[in-house]
Structure 1
């Protein structure tokens, strides 16, 4: 399946690379390349990964080391939504993002 990166996931990759590069630029390049490679591996069997409906609609996740790749399958494309450190408060991150997106639900 085709893999596409959201603007936020692209920024996540840059931020991860910058953080690791403080210690080693070579390690930063290797790690970010590994994350991107893992994203493309997800495209081979995207429905085989864990669902995270508790965080957002149709969201799935894959882990690489301490990082978690969050994605959705939309119209035959795997869309990488975020790449975050597993120690982050994920419900808070996705709660903020879900509140920022327009809701299709009618008010109660």
Structure 2
């Protein structure tokens, strides 16, 4: 998991904890488990439509999007963002 994705998880936990501290930890654990499961079938989820050359794939988990790249023997989680956010502007700020 990239440093940025780890920070995303922390931000998600802090946001959810404002209303429900107990749920914050359990939801982050669920997100982490969803990330781990990507290793079993890493190509099961699509490449980003407008940025196929980046190699970034997207998996949905609830209202969140997990962005990752498939490497030779591993999967690297790049970002985890709420689905309402403009993820293209975040992932590709130069475009």
Number of equivalenced pairs: 93
Aligned to 1:104: none
Unpaired stretches in structure 2, ≥5 consecutive residues: none
More RCO (CA 8 Å, sep 6+): 1
Runs (4+) off by over 3 Å: none
Q: TM-score, normalised by structure 1?
A: 0.81
Alpha carbon RMSD of aligned pairs, Å? Answer: 1.2
TM-score normalised by L of structure 2: 0.92
Residues 1:68 and 2:65 are matched in the alignment? yes
Return the alpha-carbon distance in structure 1 between the equivalents of residues 49 and 5 of structure 2: 19
Q: How far is the alpha carbon of 1:60 from its aligned partner? A: 0.4
Structure with the greater alpha carbon radius of gyration: 1
Is 1:36 matched up with 2:32? Answer: yes
- Structure with the largest fraction of helix: 2
Following TM superposition, by how much is the alpha carbon of 1:75 offset from its aligned partner in structure 2, in angstroms? 2.0
